[in-house]
Amino acid sequence: MTTRVTIDTMGAGGDGVAMTSEGQVFVPFTLPGEVANIAREKSRGTLMALIEASPERIDPACRHFEACGGCALQHWQENSYGDWKRGLVADALAGRRLNFTLEPLVPCAPHTRRRAVFAVRRTEQGVLFGFHRHQSHEIIDIHECVVTVPAIVERLADLRQLAALLAQGTKPFKLTVTATASGLDIAAVGCGLPETAKRRTLTTFMLEKSFARLTCEGEIIIEPRKPLIHFGKVAVQAPPGGFLQATAEAEEAMSALVMGHLAKTKRAADLFCGTGTFTFRMAEKMAVHAVETDAAALAALDHAARNTQGLKPITTERRDLFRRPLMMKELARFDGVVFDPPRAGAEAQAKEIAKSNVAKVAAISCSPVTLARDLAILTDGGYRIDRVIPIDQFLWSSHVEAVALLSKGR
């Protein structure tokens, strides 16, 4: 049985939202103003037929759109899509009653995502290699991806072959592929460790295809070349499965904003530093104390720092900033702080920064909601928000990055 609805607005998750007498219904792949027949199950709707299309609807860029759940909004005209994504940041910050001016959205171009996480499963018909269907465990076999860099897309056939070699039984697993300066870095999780004979086969295949590295369950199977990621002038040997900004272009935009804000800083702390996304750019101009809980990431950062000439001093500290944030007294030696936490944000750390007299703070986040919470803590402590810049690092998805730049007079 189908129900006819009118889509009233776009939800924060990228689904069209219809207001009905029985409450909200979220309908993927629809746009505000559209009339559609849907199959409804509680608050979820499946688009069965589009009766009246929005004038803002455009042809999607990818043939897998609507089947593959990797993108939610390829069908929306660029300006309206950009306004909505910018609005995600505006609404989150306004909800905390913050005083801010939101700058224009920094756009994201297709074919720039440098990491892809593929789902793999062996079936009787062969190996499925692709992405999950929207809100489903079903794997959609893909043959193109318009958000991912050509260095990965052009090797889909080879990656599918590799996935077939790794697949044991019918258990699904993940294959994370990262484009690095040295070639593709491939990490398999959930497929188990290969036995000796399979390792020889995998080694031969990896060498034949000129891939940089293969790890299974965190163990390096073969590494013909160290996967290198460049942060400014520094080449870092990426640890298996380590965090990396989704696109190099967004990383450059965020780094430029951070460096502009810290232009007069002499000594800064880079908190949740990862492998040095901001650390090494900062160290061209100032001394940096880099703090991170992930041992492998911090080791990669430290190794690169020790083997690169021409940088200001870099010190490192392994520390869980959720449990043990840098305290107000520890922050007293810095005149700048950068923090780029996971989606959970940096509530405990923000409380300590708020009590400090650090002159310049740059907050980077992929979650507008937790960013707004952390900014509210900082402004309650006397900081003013100088700039907020939304960055569309996750093209055609419901995710958005944001950089907030704050100051406090001593």
340 is in an annotated binding site: yes
Amino acid at 271: L
Distance of CA 26 to the CA centre of its chain: 24
Give how far the C-alpha of residue 332 lies from the chain's centroid of Cα atoms, to the nearest Å.
31
- CB atoms near residue 31 (< 10 Å): 25
From 304, 163, 188, select the one nearest 236 (Cα to Cα): 304
Instruction: Identify each DSSP E strand in 262-380 by its residue range.
Output: 267-271, 287-292, 314-318, 336-339, 360-365
Q: Is 284 annotated as a binding residue?
A: no
366 is catalytic: yes
Q: What is the CA radius of gyration of the chain?
A: 23
For CA atoms 134, 65, 48, 87, give the dihedral sign. Answer: positive
CB-CB contact of 17 with 34 (8 Å): no
Beta-bridged to residue 231, according to DSSP, are: 234
- Look at residues 362, 346, 358 and name the one whose alpha carbon lies nearest to residue 270: 362
Give the span between the Cα atoms of 76 and 352, in whole angstroms: 42
Q: How many CB atoms lie within 10 A of CB 13?
A: 13
Q: Which residues lie closer than 8 Å to 12 by C-beta, 6 or more apart?
A: 88, 91, 398
245 annotated as belonging to a binding site for a ligand: yes
The residues that bridge with 185 in the sheet, in sequence order, are 178, 213
Count of all residues that appear for the chain in the document: 410
- Is residue 317 part of an annotated ligand binding site? no
Contact 394, 367 (CB under 8 A): no
CA angle 346, 299, 339 (to 5 degrees): 20
Annotated binding site for S-adenosyl-L-methionine: 245, 272, 292, 340
Annotated binding site: 245, 272, 292, 340
Catalytic residues: 366
